[in-house]
Amino acid sequence: MNTKDGIGTSLTRKESLDKVSGRVIYGGDNMTPQMLYAAQKTSPHAHAKIIKIDTEKAKGMKGIKAIFTGDDYKDNLGLYLCDKPPVARNVVRHYGEVVAAVVADTYANATAAADAIAVEYEVMKPILSPLEALSDDAYTIHEEMGSYSHIKPIHPEPGTNVANRTKIRKGNPTEAFKSAHVTIETFVEIPPGDHVAMEPRVAIAEIKKTGYVHILSSTQAPFVVKGLMHQFFGIDQGKIIVKAPLIGGGFGGKAGIQLEGLAYLLSQKVGGRPVKLVNTREEDLTGSPGHIGLQAKIKIAADAEGKIMGMDMDYYFNSGAYADYAVNVSRAAAISCTGPYYVPNIRCDSMCVYTNMPFATAYRGFGHIEMSFAVERAMDELANALKMDPLELRIKNGIKPHDTTPVQSVLNESTGDIIKCFEEVGAMLGGDIGATQQLENNTVRVKGVTGLWKAPAMPTNTDAGAILTFNSDGSCNLNTGVVEIGQGTKTGLAQIVSERLGIPVDKVHVVMEVDTSVSPSDWATAASRGLMMAGMATLEACEDAENQIKEIASAVLRVPKRDLKVDGERVFVPDEPKIGLNLSEVVLGYVYPNGNAIYGQVIGSGKYIAKHLTDLDPETGEGHPDLEWTLGAEGVEIEVNLNTGKYKILKAVCCIDVGKVISPALARGQIVGGMAMGMGYTTMEGFTFNDRGQVTNGVLRDYKIMRYGDEPEYQVKFLETPQQDGPYGARGLGEQSVIGMPGAIANALSRAVGKGMNQIPLTPEKVWKTSMEVKR
Amino acid sequence: MIAYNLDYFKPETTEEAYECMKTLKEDKVNALYYSGGTEVITNLRKGASKADAVIDLKGIVEMSEILVEDEYIVVGANVPLNVMIEHPELESVMPILNKIADHTVRNALTIGGNICGKLPFREAVLPLLALNSSIKWVDESGIKESLLRDVFDKRLKLPPNAFLYQIMIPRNAGGQMISKRMEAHTEVDYPILHVVMNISDTEVFVGLSGFSSFPVYQLIPRNVYDEWSDPVGSIAGLFEKDAKSDERASKEYRVHLLKNQIALFTGGAYDSL
Amino acid sequence: MIHYSGNVSIQLNVNREIHEVVVMPQDTLLRVMREKIGYTGPKAGCENGDCGACTVLMDGKPVKACLMLAVEAVGKEVLTVEGLEDTEIQKAFISEGGFQCGFCTAGFLMNAFALLETNPDADEAEKKDWLSANLCRCTGYEGIEKALTLAQKRIQEKNNNKR
């Protein structure tokens, strides 16, 4: 066991020095002489017919190599539901939709030409909310839905604006509501918004004469891109090489397929020359997808003691103009629809609804942050109705091992201790969660808490792999398909190797970039399972390598394999350590003094595939899609000036059961980062629209995210109830801390003003307005 | 990144600058004066402004200087806001200038740019109006001078092709200057209300930026102000009809914040219900 | 009077070296540094002056290179993250978790470096004033704050020892 820098120690990241020296080459930093540059033209309208695209002037401008419009590609692309042309064809369905692309010798020339393209639109009325899209007289945004191909677990409803519906039916909710002591009903709303990763998306595509397609992209899912490029364009899988360098933040927005398809089509138009397609910030915000919106109606029924008897819920997710990942987001939210509470009777319909708004892809929390806002607001309303402390209500109903989830899977012992999480959060906030502390100048101090949970919503065959090779000095190289998006998984995996094989972590060299032609397959760097799944694969690769090392040493030392140990960069007999070899002597084969060489190089390989996952029953939602559950609780303390509505989040706390903390500093970084993102999401983000559906805050000047100085005091506590099938007991933690923030903040603010605040973002003006409503 | 060709001129004297602009305009070349450049570049990139040429005034050395004279602090129009903020004689305006844009941008953003730019906030103009500053500008006949109050109405009204040269801020202007800036949420943002009050022996200045579509101000004789039994209502009444609604704030909220702030400044009563 | 039109050859002093480059007047300093000189440390996060990822130092002051024309930098000393060597702030960013994805890091480092050079005794308000010019989406700013505090402490100690 290498305890010096193995698991549980906080190491600096492997790529640290390059990151602080400007030496990391992100996707957009690649510039080669043969490269051509693409610029996009986007729609200023939320819903319009394209009458004519006039490219005459643009074609004749300096340096123009090709112009691409909707007519250049007759099919649709799509992750689960093929509903989206690479650029708009005949109709634009959201503000910011790409209507044309230009390839030129310089980006400036491409941009000038894109500006010179004249598009004639017939503007039509847009649909600007899910409920509007579901109303009887709403027009159908995707008239050809019936002809779209889609994967089996998705159930689109042609003739309507429902791209997917997931039903959860558990127990007998009607009866539960009839016999309840108290029932409450809440309605919440969240607008669509954006990831705002600091790096705008980029894709560089090149098609060689041999037919090999090279894609370099800021992608979290290089293997998904590879698979979809094959599916859409018929390219042999072996001839698609996708490379993912270090990424400047993903947060789910760079999973799936982003700019790669269009970049490929553009390269095709210029004879396969490398074409670099980079989003401007404006295009990244509204052209490429953001996060899903929601309108939701939640009803909870409880007995006199506050035990929840049933939940009745309608989630109307706002997918925007295209389905992308959103159809799975709405499904994932359904799987977790109750929040981390045991609910025996459930009726839930989770719908993914089209609107004429910027469309949604995966986002940190994957539907859980939206679902959690709805449920946690309802929980506080229930606490109010019962005159019960909000923390006590949650503790009373927290889900435990052997309880069933909404999909009727059974939580096993490998599940976090949410009751303890609630208790810790209560302690970190100093208790008395339901109290309002009056200060002078009409200012109050309030607290709010939420429970959170998440299971990754992945394909049932989600997988990871790891390959370990060695250098002549006994150091090793770890190759996995996990992308480094800032979460530090590469360093965490190195720690796992270090722990398992006893090699110092600075001698575990991690391949930073992912190259689908040489990295083992990996479903995607998403769903907070990189460390868990790649970690398990890595452990298997370590075991495999260790076995081979022992094999060689056994022959040379004439000792049975079972009597050997690998540690401290040696392989040796534990009770007679002098009998041993340095790893450097065996890892590339052993050479006897007389020159004979045996065995050859050690190559360790490992893999992981999720076990026993099933899809959901289309009528009841019953199934086992949930690989593992991470549970936790969060809370905030806020000071609110009721005169102005301005408030300051003083403290943000999180207790999360992660199974095992592989690297304390990296883990804390993820949790704190997630809390900050959740705070921005709740208090100041979200797209704003005019009544024509145009986004009015489509630049960072207007779309505000948290800044230095906005942050509260963060307190984080980890619990370690082991995940039995995770590496060293670890389970996922990358996303979870974003999930509980909207509910916690809204619960605190609702308490401050004395009325439910259920509409995100919770701006100071809304706080003031609501507080005025209460006073009147 | 600007996708169009620009010609760049950097004159060394005011005459050269004016002549350059005049000649370009006569040749139908669309030219813009350029100082800090932060707003010009942003607008040219997005197409909110169009230009074939920029005339960089930073070559006119005295426009980047601050001179302390007997009666005035003379601030060249090209002085970046951070330089103004740090000047010991300009402490009273510091709290107002210190909130504009962000610290890094203020190393480039100039006082002239803030006043003459397209953005409708022009927050720096409020303390200058409050102190009854004068300005000098360059036009056909050379350097002209005027009270700022006489040439500022929503924006600085100068003859065609003229440019702002210097600002003269009276020393010992007297009066107590107080200000408060409020944003929709986070502080690095345009204001939804920036109120500057200057109470001197003779007059009370109240100026607002971010409240209407342009800066607005009122001068109230001191004796009138002292007589008001309801300063909050009286002052708000002067501005209320100009309040705007936009995606940062509704006009009701702006008016409420104004009243709330005036109440805090004056000690007057304000019942928000 | 200087008049630049079309392609013009200028000299830019970047990271203590004179670079001879051919630029057009409308080229921003950010694009020229990245595309013509090869310093890709400063990033194009928004090209609108909002995110600060393009921050470099010009004569010791932080500026947003996306809002500056390259020709304006003639005669000035420009410093990018590639020009920082083994500084306290870089070391502190590493040890205190001042970055995760690293995309905003170059901008933050230049700004923080300049702050500590200009005023090593900066208080919390001044630190907030300077650093609120840069956006970070990964860290929640806790690691950046800790790094700044640590670097400041070390620099103050060094200054004290010098006396």
Over range A76-99, report the average pLDDT.
Answer: 96
The answer to whether residue B170 scores a pLDDT higher than 80 is yes
Nearest to C133 among B5, B8, B105 (CB): B105
* Predicted confidence (pLDDT) at residue A555 exceeds the cutoff of 60: yes
Whether residue A633 is predicted with pLDDT greater than 60 in this model: the reply is yes
pLDDT at residue A2, rounded to an integer? 44
Query: Would you call C120 an interface residue with chain B, using a CB distance cutoff of 8 Å?
Result: no
> ipTM of this model?
0.98
In the predicted model, is pLDDT for residue A717 greater than 70? yes
Residue C133 forms contact with B (CB below 8 Å)? yes
| CA proximity to A398, closest of A341, A478, A330 | A341
What mean pLDDT is predicted for residues A511-521? 96
User: Quick one: pLDDT at residue A323?
Assistant: 94
User: Rounded to a whole number, what is the distance in Å from the CA of C129 to chain B's nearest CA?
Assistant: 6
Q: What is the CATH number of domain A369-458+626-775?
A: 3.30.365.10
Q: What is the spatial distance between Cα A666 and Cα B223, in angstroms, rounded to a whole number?
A: 64
pLDDT for C162: 83
Note whether A16-23+462-609 and A369-458+626-775 share their fold.
yes
Map A264-293 to HEC letters.
HHHHHHCCCCCEEEECCHHHHHHHCCEECE
- For residue C84, name the pLDDT band (cuts at 50, 70, 90): very high
Q: Which of A131-145, A521-535, A716-730 has the highest mean pLDDT?
A: A131-145
pLDDT class of A362 with cuts at 50, 70, 90: very high
- The alpha carbon of residue B264 is apart from the nearest alpha carbon of chain A, in Å, by 11
Mutate to test the interface with B, among C72, C109, C136 (most CBs of B within 10 A): C72
The answer to whether the CB atoms of A669 and C51 lie below 8 A apart is: no
The answer, yes or no, to whether residue C76 has pLDDT greater than 60, is yes
Q: If you search the block for the tokens 């950097």, which residue do you land on?
A: B10
Pairing of strands B134-139, A514-515: unpaired
Structure tokens given for C10: 């200028």
CATH of A31-124+201-278, one of 3.40.390.10, 3.40.630.30, 3.90.1170.50, 2.40.50.140: 3.90.1170.50
Of the pLDDT bands very low, low, confident and very high (cuts 50, 70, 90), residue A1 is very low
Residue C88: closest C-alpha in chain A: A20
pTM surpassing 0.90?
yes
For position B70, what pLDDT does the model report? 94
Residue range B97-150, pLDDT digits in tens: 999 999 999 999 999 999 999 999 999 999 999 999 999 999 999 999 999 999
Residue in B38, B54, B82 nearest the CB of C67? B38
Mean pLDDT in residue range B41-67 = 96
Mean pLDDT of chain B: 95
Give residue-wise pLDDT tens across range A139-148: 999 999 999 9
As a three-state string, the secondary structure of A134-146 is HCCCCCCCCCCHH
Q: What does the pLDDT average to over C2-22?
A: 98
Q: How far apart are CA B173 and CA B73, in angstroms?
A: 11
Query: Across the interface, do B256 and A768 touch by the CB < 8 Å criterion?
Result: yes
pLDDT in tens, A274-307: 999 999 999 999 999 999 999 999 999 999 999 9
Q: How confident is the model at residue A611 (pLDDT cuts 50, 70, 90)?
A: confident
First-last CA distance in chain B:
49
Q: What average pLDDT does range C2-12 have in this prediction?
A: 97
Across the range A695-714, mean pLDDT stands at 97
pLDDT at B229 over 90: yes
B55 and B17 in contact (C-beta within 8 Å)? yes
Average the pLDDT over A202-223 and give the result: 98
A631 CA to chain C: closest CA distance, Å? 21
Q: Which of A250, A253, A404, A413 is nearest to A324 (CA)?
A: A253
Distance from CA of C12 to the nearest CA of B (A): 17
pLDDT score recorded for residue A460: 82
pLDDT score, position A101: 98
Distance CA A283, CA A647 (A): 32
Token pair recorded at residue C24 = 């057009």
Mean pLDDT, rounded, of chain A? 95
Which of B98, B186, B193, B262 is the best residue to mutate to test the A interface, defined by the most A CB atoms within 10 Å of its own CB? B186
pLDDT in tens, C93-137: 999 999 999 999 999 999 999 999 999 999 999 999 999 999 999
Domains of chain C and any CATH numbers: 8-83 (3.10.20.30), 88-162 (1.10.150.120)
What confidence score (pLDDT) does residue C93 get? 97
> What pLDDT does A4 receive?
57
pLDDT recorded at residue C154: 97
In chain B, the residue whose alpha carbon lies closest to the alpha carbon of C57 is B104
C47 and chain B: CB distance < 8 Å anywhere? Answer: yes
Three-class SS state of A641: strand
The closest CB to that of B103, out of C69, C71, C130, belongs to: C130
Written out in words, the top-level CATH class of the domain with range A16-23+462-609 is alpha beta
Question: What is the per-residue pLDDT for A377?
Answer: 98
Q: What are the structural domain ranges in chain A?
A: 16-23+462-609, 31-124+201-278, 369-458+626-775
E strand or H helix at A86, and its extent? none
Please state whether beta strands A275-278 and A36-42 pair in parallel, antiparallel, or not at all (unpaired): parallel
Q: Which residues pair with A218 in a beta bridge?
A: none
Residue A5 reports pLDDT greater than 70: no
What is the arithmetic mean of pLDDT over A452-466? 88
Q: Which domains does chain B possess?
A: 7-58 (3.30.43.10), 61-170 (3.30.465.10), 176-266 (3.30.390.50)
